[in-house]
Amino acid sequence: MKKLLILILIIPSILNIQCQSSKKDSVKFSYIESMSNDITPNYIPDFTYELNGYTKYFSELTGKVILINFWNTKTAESQKEVQELNKLYNEYKSKGIEVIGICISEENPEYIPDYLENYKINYLILYANENHKKGFEYSISSNLYPLPISVIVDRGGKIRELIIGKRNYSEFKNLIEKYL
């Protein structure tokens, strides 16, 4: 009887831990690990990140239209835009669109997965350190402030649009449709 009582008390906590870890596993968040030294204006430099235990390269996305959004959790405009981009990603991912959020200037990046989970963001979010930020600024020929800033990269890897400031779903939709 005592063993049964212990199991009854322990099982809910075990199930809760498993549920929490599965939620975290569904969040697509990683740190940019390295960036190519070959940085060219008008092209996003190749970079690596780890996802689900595998090293991934930005260059693997060649052939897709990519919307990259530079943001952080502290900027109200960024927070609103991330939700608009999530809606866009859900609608267009089957049409060859990839959305990547690159979080910069975050004091505590370890809190980003919780933020993504709370807002049910399901596109890839990467954290960039100060050196990576400088590489991106050189490639887009612009300072990354004020946030948010977005770029649209065509299927060949060239930056086609530089979008400074917050946009809504309809504005992003109109911009990406011409590159499909």
Does any domain span residue 17?
no
Does any domain span residue 39?
yes
Could you report the average pLDDT of every consecutive run of 10 residues in the chain (180 residues)? 40 37 66 94 96 96 97 90 96 96 89 92 96 95 93 96 96 96
Does any domain span residue 145?
yes
Give me the pLDDT at residue 25, please.
56
Give me the pLDDT at residue 24, please.
52
pTM of the model: 0.85
Q: Long-range pairs for 107-112 at CB < 8 Å and ≥24 separation?
A: 109/31, 111/73, 112/29, 112/73
Give me the pLDDT at residue 21, please.
34
Domain extent for 31? 27-177
Does any domain span residue 3?
no
Does any domain span residue 156?
yes
Does any domain span residue 104?
yes
Domain count, the chain: 1
Does any domain span residue 35?
yes
CATH of the domain at 145: 3.40.30.10
Residue 162 CA to residue 130 CA, distance in Å, equals 20
